[in-house]
């Protein structure tokens, strides 16, 4: 089936909105059972099937599950077999066997999009990560470069939740809950276990993916920021039920399970859910729209936390997703770019569009950088010198044409060999700081001689 634009939502009103609420959606009125989840016979002759994103007994505030009412149940498929050809660039348990550690600041130029036909699954590769999907604690950061839609197949990630940040090219995503259109400037979360297919209406496409094991993304707490800070739950959009009922001979489910891919055949589309309800759902959010006015007033420098995947320690994230959007810089007597720092957290950054305020050049849209735990980093020489040259007379300044983001984790990432050996590694990255000279004045009463 060739997808067409009219199949995918184009307006916010084509979705349900909210975060963490219990949604209900019917593609045919009356398809949802009333007052029970699993009646003896479901309306319209559908099968009831639950998908659980947390253990059955998780506390109510943490419990995620949805009920799907479908034409045939997911179990109707042939046995899983290892995918052929093997996909050997996905990692879900980072160890000395498959990855290495390196405290050096690392930057990657944008990876070229392949010429040969490559879909989202084939074009997905791990960059770095820590922990283990088997032990349900950890994360992986992937990137994808692709140029064609998935055909007669769906992907299912048994390891964790995907947070996808498209940088180039829209994603038409079909899920068991319905369809979403995700453009650069938006992000989408596809929770563990949901089957999905990605079409690429714009052809050549590139983006970033954060995967979290054993937890789910939630909205950050607000504390003294107040009730209206950060992302608003109503900015998050959830698809409405839609379904396919045509026979699909040879349809393939590709299951990522422990970082390895397996395939199973079935003769129908997994997107055969006529109605569903629950709070375990795929969702998207437009990051360009988030909190601009709040930021401009309250936080003219710090990044904006959009989503957080927590650990058991209060305030310590397994993985935070934060953005550096266009905004006004207004702080007086303040070094406005991100300051020099070392961090107990590890920071992976990407750039969706434009430039980044701390790097005058070299950090390109579609590129990435990794500053691991306690590795020093900060503005490059050009940015530092230009900032202090403007002095205290610098008036309010609006940063435009930018959208950078960061995946930040308390775990120390191990890096995959193909990422370290990639021709896109910028081996001169360190040079951006080498030119920083001493401005030290040892004698404030007159002698302005400085040491190099
Ligand atoms: Fe940093």
Domain borders along the chain are 289-433
User: What is the whole-number distance in angstroms between the Cα of residue 375 and the centre of ligand 1?
Assistant: 9
User: What is the whole-number distance in angstroms between the Cα of residue 371 and the centre of ligand 1?
Assistant: 7
Furthest-apart CA atoms within the chain: distance in Å: 90
Q: What are phi and psi of 288, to 5 degrees?
A: -65, -25
Q: Is 356 annotated as a binding residue?
A: yes
The stretches of 229-364 forming alpha helices (DSSP H) are 292-298
pLDDT score for 452 = 52
User: What is the whole-number distance in angstroms between the Cα of residue 380 and the centre of ligand 1?
Assistant: 13
Q: Which CATH number fits domain 289-433: 1.20.120.160, 3.40.50.300, 2.60.120.10, 2.40.420.20?
A: 2.60.120.10
pLDDT score for 296 = 47
Distances (CA, A) of 132 to 90, 139, 373, 416: 12, 7, 19, 14
User: What is the whole-number distance in angstroms between the Cα of residue 408 and the centre of ligand 1?
Assistant: 9
In this prediction, the residues of the chain whose per-residue pLDDT falls under 50 are 292-301
Q: Alpha carbon 14 to chain centroid distance?
A: 22
User: What is the whole-number distance in angstroms between the Cα of residue 160 and the centre of ligand 1?
Assistant: 26
Yes or no: say if 326 and 399 are a contact pair by the CB < 8 Å rule. Answer: yes
Percent of the chain with pLDDT over 90: 83
pLDDT score for 96 = 97
pLDDT score for 446 = 62
User: What is the whole-number distance in angstroms between the Cα of residue 341 and the centre of ligand 1?
Assistant: 6
Containing 256, the helix (H) or strand (E) segment is: strand 247-257
pLDDT score for 288 = 73
Strand (E) positions, 115-215?
124-132, 137-146, 153-157, 161-168, 171-175, 178-182, 186-190, 195-199, 205-213
* Spatial CA neighbour of 257 closest among 76, 87, 19, 64: 87
- Which residues have a beta carbon within 5 Å of ligand 1, which is an ion? 347
Indicate the SS3 state at residue 426: coil
User: What is the whole-number distance in angstroms between the Cα of residue 223 and the centre of ligand 1?
Assistant: 23
User: What is the whole-number distance in angstroms between the Cα of residue 131 and the centre of ligand 1?
Assistant: 22
User: What is the whole-number distance in angstroms between the Cα of residue 354 and the centre of ligand 1?
Assistant: 19
Q: Is 142 annotated as a binding residue?
A: no
pLDDT score for 121 = 98
Q: Describe the chain by its helix, strand, coil percentages, rounded to 5.
A: 10, 40, 50
How do residues 387-435 score in pLDDT, each as one tens digit?
Answer: 999 988 888 988 889 999 999 999 999 999 999 999 999 999 999 999 9
User: What is the whole-number distance in angstroms between the Cα of residue 347 and the centre of ligand 1?
Assistant: 6
Yes or no: say if 145 and 123 are a contact pair by the CB < 8 Å rule. Answer: yes
pTM, 2 dp: 0.95
Neighbours of 51 (CB within 10 A): 21
Cα three-residue angle 331-336-337, rounded to 5 degrees: 155
Yes or no: say if 193 and 133 are a contact pair by the CB < 8 Å rule. Answer: no
Q: Is 77 annotated as a binding residue?
A: no
Yes or no: say if 180 and 239 are a contact pair by the CB < 8 Å rule. Answer: yes
Q: Residues 6 or more apart from 155 whose CB is under 8 A from it?
A: 120, 121, 195, 196, 197, 198, 254, 256
User: What is the whole-number distance in angstroms between the Cα of residue 104 and the centre of ligand 1?
Assistant: 14
């Amino acid at each position: 089936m060739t997808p067409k634009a009219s199949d995918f939502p184009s307006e916010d009103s084509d979705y349900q909105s909210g975060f963490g609420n219990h949604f209900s959606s019917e593609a045919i009125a009356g398809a949802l059972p009333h007052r029970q989840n699993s009646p003896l016979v479901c309306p319209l002759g559908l099968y009831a099937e639950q998908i659980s994103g947390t253990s059955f007994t998780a506390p109510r505030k943490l419990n995620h599950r949805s009920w799907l009412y479908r034409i045939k149940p997911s179990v109707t498929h042939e046995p899983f077999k290892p995918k052929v050809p093997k996909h050997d660039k996905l990692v879900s348990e980072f160890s000395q066997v498959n990855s290495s550690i390196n405290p050096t600041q690392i930057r990657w130029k944008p990876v070229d999009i392949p010429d040969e036909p490559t879909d989202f699954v084939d074009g997905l590769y791990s960059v770095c990560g820590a922990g283990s999907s088997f032990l349900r604690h950890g994360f992986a950061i992937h990137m994808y470069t692709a140029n064609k839609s998935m055909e007669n197949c769906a992907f299912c990630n048994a390891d964790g939740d995907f947070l996808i940040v498209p940088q180039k090219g829209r994603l038409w995503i079909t899920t068991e809950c319905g369809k979403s259109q995700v453009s650069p400037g938006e992000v989408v979360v596809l929770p563990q276990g949901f089957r999905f297919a990605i079409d690429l209406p714009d052809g050549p496409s590139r983006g970033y993916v954060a995967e979290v094991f054993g937890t789910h993304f939630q909205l950050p707490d607000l504390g003294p920021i107040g009730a209206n800070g950060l992302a608003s739950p109503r900015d998050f959009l959830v698809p409405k039920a839609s379904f396919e009922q045509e026979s699909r001979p040879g349809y393939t489910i590709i299951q990522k399970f422990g970082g390895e891919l397996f395939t199973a055949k079935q003769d129908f589309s997994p997107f055969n859910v006529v109605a569903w309800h629950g709070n375990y759902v795929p969702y998207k959010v437009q990051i360009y729209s988030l909190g601009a006015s709040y930021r401009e007033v309250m936080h003219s420098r710090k990044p904006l936390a959009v989503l957080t995947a927590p650990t058991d320690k209060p305030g310590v994230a397994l993985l935070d997703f934060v953005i550096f959007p266009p905004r006004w810089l207004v702080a007086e007597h303040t070094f406005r770019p991100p300051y020099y720092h070392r961090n107990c957290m590890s920071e992976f950054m990407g750039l969706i569009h434009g430039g980044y305020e701390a790097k005058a050049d070299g950090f390109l849209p579609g590129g990435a950088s990794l500053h691991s735990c306690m590795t020093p980093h900060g503005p490059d020489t050009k940015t530092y010198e230009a900032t202090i040259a403007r002095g205290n007379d610098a008036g309010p300044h609006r940063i435009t044409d930018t959208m950078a983001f960061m995946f930040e984790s308390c775990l120390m990432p191990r890096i995959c060999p193909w990422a370290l050996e990639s021709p896109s590694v910028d081996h001169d990255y360190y040079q951006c700081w080498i030119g920083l000279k001493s401005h030290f004045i040892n004698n404030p009463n007159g002698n302005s001689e400085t040491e190099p």
